[in-house]
Amino acid sequence: MDSTGSTTAVFWEEWADCVQQDKTYIFTNLRAKKDNYSGEIYVNTAKEGFKIEETDNFAEDLAEIEPTITDMTTKETTISISIIGVKNISSYYVCSACGACGRNTEQSGKLLKCNSCNLRQRITPEAKHWFAKVFAQDTDTKSNFYLNIFHQQMAKLFEATDKNLHTGLSKEDLGDILAEIDDLKVTYMYNCVDGKLLHVN
C-alpha cells in the first residue's frame, strides 16, 4: 500500500523471502495479472526478473487495506498429510547481508553478487535454499491438493522424519525424501487453488 491505495503482490518460489513486513520498497518491472478465480487484479514478479530497492518509509498517511476475495477465502488448517507426488523442485541463492534472493542474486565467477545491496560474497552452502511444489493428500478425507514448501518449512519436514536437509542433497534426493512422507501432521494456509506449508506440528 501507499498513500493512494493498496493491491496484492505475490512473490512465489525464489522471490518469496525478498520483502519483509513493515518495510518500504521501490519495485521496478512488476507485472499486473488478473486472478482467474476472483477476477481481481494483483501484481507479481515478471519472468524476466524485477528490481527491488528498500527506501524510506512514507511520511504521509497510508491507505486502508481492502480485503480481497482471495484473502477472504484463504484459510488456515491443521491436518495429517501424505505426499503422493512431487511437481517441481528448484533452488535459489540468498544474500547473507540483506536477505535478497532469486533473481536479485547471481553468480559472478566464484562469487555471489547481490543486485540489491551490491555485495559480492563467497558462495557458501548455507546460501543455497530450496523450494518444492508437491501433491499431497489429507489422510483423513483423502482429498488431494498442491502444497508449496519453502526452505525453512522443508527443513522442518526433514527433521520430523529424522532426515537432514544438508548441502549434499540433489533435487532427486529431495524428491525421494519428500515422497516418503506419510501421515504427518502439519498446518498450512490454503485457498481454492493450492496451499502453503506454515508449520510442521
Is pLDDT of 174 > 90?
A: yes
- CA-nearest of 82, 73, 87 to 148 is 87
Q: Would you place residue 180 in the very low, low, confident or very high pLDDT band (cuts 50, 70, 90)?
A: very high
**pLDDT single digits (tens) 99-155:** 777 666 777 777 888 877 888 888 887 778 899 999 999 999 999 999 999 898 999
Q: What is the pLDDT of residues 41-97, one digit of tens each?
A: 889 887 777 888 999 999 998 888 876 666 666 788 899 999 999 999 988 888 777
Domain ranges of the chain: 9-67, 75-95+126-200
- pTM over 0.75, yes/no: no
Could you tell me if 76 and 189 are in contact, meaning their C-beta atoms sit under 8 angstroms apart? yes
Q: What is the CATH number of domain 75-95+126-200?
A: 2.40.50
CA-based radius of gyration for the chain: 18
The pair phi, psi for residue 33, each rounded to 5°, is -135, 165
